[in-house]
Amino acid sequence: MGRAPCCDKDNVKKGPWSPEEDAELKAYIEQHGTGGNWIALPHKIGLKRCGKSCRLRWLNYLRPNIKHGGFTEEEDQIICSLYISIGSRWSIMAAQLPGRTDNDIKNYWNTRLKKRLLGKGTLRRSDREPSESLSVSAIERMQLLQLQGSQSSHLTFYNNPVLWPKHHVPVSHAAATTLDVLSGVQSPALDFHSPSGASSGELQDLVGCQLPDLSCYSDIYSFQEANNLTTENHSMIIQEYEIGLI
Residue 69 engages DNA in binding (rule: CB under 7 A): yes
Nearer to DNA, 131 or 150 (CB): 131
Q: Which of residues 197-216 bind DNA (CB under 7 A)?
A: none
Residue 36 engages DNA in binding (rule: CB under 7 A): yes
Helices (H), 33-135: 41-45, 51-57, 73-86, 90-96, 102-108, 114-118
105 exposed, middle or buried (CB, 10 Å; 0-12, 13-18, 19+)? Answer: buried
Q: Rounded to the nearest whole angstrom, what is the least distance from the CB of residue 144 to DNA in the complex? A: 15
Nearer to DNA, 5 or 188 (CB): 5
d(CA 53, CA 87): 26
Among 125, 131, 152, 161, binds DNA (CB under 7 A): 125
Among 26, 48, 67, 106, binds DNA (CB under 7 A): 106
Residue 26 engages DNA in binding (rule: CB under 7 A): no
Contacts of 155 (CB under 8 A, 6+ apart): 77, 80, 81, 84, 148
Beta carbons of 99 and 67 less than 8 angstroms apart: yes
Among 5, 33, 130, 188, binds DNA (CB under 7 A): 5
Of the listed pieces 14-22, 171-179, 188-196, 206-214, which binds DNA according to CB under 7 A? 14-22
d(CA 246, CA 237): 8
d(CA 82, CA 25): 33
Residue 92 engages DNA in binding (rule: CB under 7 A): yes
Footprint on this chain of DNA (rule: CB under 7 A)? 1-6, 13-17, 36-39, 50-53, 55-57, 60-61, 68-69, 88-92, 102-104, 106-108, 110-112, 115, 125, 135, 137
